[in-house]
Amino acid sequence: KARTDLDQLAFDISTSYNTAHRANAGLDGVSGRDMFTQPTQVAGAAKAMAVDPALDADPSLLATAPAGGAVGDNAGAKALLAVSSAQVASGGRTLGGAALDMVSSIGVAASEAKHDVDRDMVLTENLSSLRDSLAGVDIQEELSNLARFEHATSAMTRFVSTVDNLLGDLIAKL
Protein backbone atom coordinates (compact mmCIF):
# COMPACT_ATOMS: atom_id res chain seq x y z
CA LYS A 1 0.00 0.00 0.00
CA ALA A 2 2.76 2.48 0.90
CA ARG A 3 4.55 1.88 -2.41
CA THR A 4 1.33 2.45 -4.35
CA ASP A 5 0.62 5.63 -2.37
CA LEU A 6 4.19 6.87 -2.96
CA ASP A 7 3.92 6.18 -6.69
CA GLN A 8 0.60 8.02 -6.84
CA LEU A 9 2.07 11.00 -4.97
CA ALA A 10 5.11 11.12 -7.28
CA PHE A 11 2.83 10.94 -10.32
CA ASP A 12 0.63 13.75 -8.93
CA ILE A 13 3.66 15.93 -8.12
CA SER A 14 5.24 15.44 -11.55
CA THR A 15 1.99 16.03 -13.41
CA SER A 16 0.92 19.07 -11.38
CA TYR A 17 4.25 20.86 -11.49
CA ASN A 18 4.71 20.02 -15.16
CA THR A 19 1.31 21.56 -15.96
CA ALA A 20 2.21 24.80 -14.15
CA HIS A 21 5.74 24.82 -15.60
CA ARG A 22 4.54 24.33 -19.21
CA ALA A 23 2.19 27.34 -18.89
CA ASN A 24 5.07 29.66 -17.98
CA ALA A 25 8.43 30.57 -19.46
CA GLY A 26 12.08 30.46 -18.49
CA LEU A 27 14.53 33.36 -18.76
CA ASP A 28 14.84 32.64 -22.49
CA GLY A 29 11.09 33.35 -22.95
CA VAL A 30 10.29 29.79 -24.06
CA SER A 31 7.34 27.98 -22.47
CA GLY A 32 5.97 24.44 -22.78
CA ARG A 33 8.84 22.68 -21.01
CA ASP A 34 8.43 20.03 -18.29
CA MET A 35 9.90 20.51 -14.85
CA PHE A 36 10.09 16.73 -14.23
CA THR A 37 10.40 13.85 -16.64
CA GLN A 38 6.73 13.05 -17.21
CA PRO A 39 5.80 9.58 -15.90
CA THR A 40 3.85 7.43 -18.33
CA GLN A 41 1.97 5.58 -15.58
CA VAL A 42 1.42 5.64 -11.83
CA ALA A 43 3.18 2.34 -11.15
CA GLY A 44 6.90 3.01 -10.70
CA ALA A 45 6.51 6.81 -10.84
CA ALA A 46 8.40 7.36 -7.57
CA LYS A 47 11.40 5.39 -8.76
CA ALA A 48 11.42 7.11 -12.17
CA MET A 49 10.85 10.64 -10.82
CA ALA A 50 13.63 13.04 -11.82
CA VAL A 51 14.11 16.69 -12.72
CA ASP A 52 14.00 17.19 -16.48
CA PRO A 53 17.61 16.79 -17.73
CA ALA A 54 17.53 20.07 -19.73
CA LEU A 55 16.35 22.01 -16.65
CA ASP A 56 18.91 20.25 -14.50
CA ALA A 57 21.67 21.29 -16.90
CA ASP A 58 20.45 24.91 -17.25
CA PRO A 59 18.52 26.40 -14.28
CA SER A 60 17.69 29.50 -16.36
CA LEU A 61 15.06 27.32 -18.07
CA LEU A 62 13.00 27.22 -14.85
CA ALA A 63 9.66 28.79 -15.80
CA THR A 64 9.45 31.67 -13.34
CA ALA A 65 7.81 34.20 -15.70
CA PRO A 66 4.48 34.09 -17.51
CA ALA A 67 4.63 33.14 -21.19
CA GLY A 68 5.13 36.42 -23.12
CA GLY A 69 5.47 38.35 -19.85
CA ALA A 70 7.83 41.15 -19.00
CA VAL A 71 11.35 40.54 -17.73
CA GLY A 72 11.35 40.28 -13.96
CA ASP A 73 7.69 39.22 -13.74
CA ASN A 74 7.57 36.34 -11.24
CA ALA A 75 4.04 35.11 -11.99
CA GLY A 76 5.47 31.77 -13.13
CA ALA A 77 7.25 31.30 -9.82
CA LYS A 78 4.01 32.15 -8.01
CA ALA A 79 2.15 29.60 -10.13
CA LEU A 80 4.71 26.92 -9.22
CA LEU A 81 4.41 27.87 -5.56
CA ALA A 82 0.60 27.73 -5.76
CA VAL A 83 0.77 24.06 -6.81
CA SER A 84 1.78 23.11 -3.26
CA SER A 85 -1.47 24.43 -1.79
CA ALA A 86 -3.77 23.43 -4.67
CA GLN A 87 -5.89 20.29 -4.43
CA VAL A 88 -4.11 18.45 -7.20
CA ALA A 89 -3.34 15.13 -5.50
CA SER A 90 -5.58 12.11 -5.98
CA GLY A 91 -8.69 12.25 -3.84
CA GLY A 92 -8.87 16.06 -4.11
CA ARG A 93 -6.12 16.69 -1.57
CA THR A 94 -3.13 18.98 -1.55
CA LEU A 95 0.25 17.39 -2.23
CA GLY A 96 1.24 18.04 1.40
CA GLY A 97 -2.02 16.50 2.63
CA ALA A 98 -1.45 13.43 0.49
CA ALA A 99 2.09 13.12 1.82
CA LEU A 100 0.87 13.44 5.42
CA ASP A 101 -1.82 10.81 4.82
CA MET A 102 0.79 8.46 3.38
CA VAL A 103 3.22 9.00 6.28
CA SER A 104 0.36 8.61 8.75
CA SER A 105 -0.74 5.30 7.25
CA ILE A 106 2.86 4.07 7.38
CA GLY A 107 3.04 5.10 11.04
CA VAL A 108 -0.19 3.26 11.84
CA ALA A 109 1.04 0.16 10.02
CA ALA A 110 4.37 0.33 11.89
CA SER A 111 2.56 0.71 15.22
CA GLU A 112 0.33 -2.28 14.45
CA ALA A 113 3.36 -4.33 13.43
CA LYS A 114 5.14 -3.42 16.68
CA HIS A 115 2.04 -4.40 18.66
CA ASP A 116 1.91 -7.73 16.81
CA VAL A 117 5.60 -8.36 17.52
CA ASP A 118 5.14 -7.54 21.22
CA ARG A 119 2.12 -9.86 21.44
CA ASP A 120 3.99 -12.63 19.64
CA MET A 121 6.98 -12.22 21.98
CA VAL A 122 4.75 -12.60 25.06
CA LEU A 123 3.10 -15.64 23.52
CA THR A 124 6.50 -17.12 22.64
CA GLU A 125 7.79 -16.57 26.18
CA ASN A 126 4.68 -18.20 27.68
CA LEU A 127 4.91 -21.19 25.37
CA SER A 128 8.64 -21.53 26.10
CA SER A 129 7.94 -21.48 29.85
CA LEU A 130 5.25 -24.10 29.44
CA ARG A 131 7.52 -26.27 27.30
CA ASP A 132 10.37 -25.92 29.80
CA SER A 133 8.10 -26.87 32.70
CA LEU A 134 7.04 -30.02 30.86
CA ALA A 135 10.51 -30.83 29.64
CA GLY A 136 11.92 -30.50 33.17
CA VAL A 137 10.24 -33.73 34.41
CA ASP A 138 12.75 -36.23 35.84
CA ILE A 139 11.61 -39.78 35.00
CA GLN A 140 13.61 -41.39 37.86
CA GLU A 141 12.08 -39.00 40.38
CA GLU A 142 8.58 -39.64 39.06
CA LEU A 143 9.10 -43.46 39.26
CA SER A 144 10.39 -43.09 42.82
CA ASN A 145 7.32 -41.01 43.76
CA LEU A 146 5.06 -43.60 42.12
CA ALA A 147 6.69 -46.43 44.12
CA ARG A 148 6.25 -44.48 47.38
CA PHE A 149 2.61 -43.83 46.53
CA GLU A 150 2.10 -47.53 45.81
CA HIS A 151 3.68 -48.51 49.18
CA ALA A 152 1.59 -45.91 50.98
CA THR A 153 -1.58 -47.19 49.29
CA SER A 154 -0.73 -50.78 50.24
CA ALA A 155 -0.07 -49.77 53.86
CA MET A 156 -3.34 -47.82 53.99
CA THR A 157 -5.23 -50.82 52.62
CA ARG A 158 -3.74 -53.08 55.34
CA PHE A 159 -4.58 -50.49 58.02
CA VAL A 160 -8.20 -50.20 56.87
CA SER A 161 -8.47 -54.00 56.66
CA THR A 162 -7.08 -54.37 60.20
CA VAL A 163 -9.47 -51.74 61.58
CA ASP A 164 -12.35 -53.47 59.80
CA ASN A 165 -11.42 -56.83 61.31
CA LEU A 166 -11.15 -55.30 64.79
CA LEU A 167 -14.52 -53.63 64.45
CA GLY A 168 -16.02 -56.87 63.13
CA ASP A 169 -14.66 -58.81 66.16
CA LEU A 170 -15.89 -56.09 68.53
CA ILE A 171 -19.38 -56.16 67.07
CA ALA A 172 -19.44 -59.98 67.15
CA LYS A 173 -18.61 -59.99 70.86
CA LEU A 174 -21.38 -57.59 71.72
Are the beta carbons of 64 and 76 closer than 8 angstroms? yes
3-state helix, strand, coil in the chain (%, to 5): 70, 5, 25
The model carries a pTM of 0.61
The pLDDT tens digits along the chain (174 residues) read: 888 889 988 999 999 999 999 999 998 888 999 999 988 899 999 999 999 999 999 998 999 988 887 767 888 899 998 898 888 888 888 888 888 888 888 899 899 999 999 999 999 999 988 887 776 667 888 899 899 999 999 889 988 988 888 888 888 887
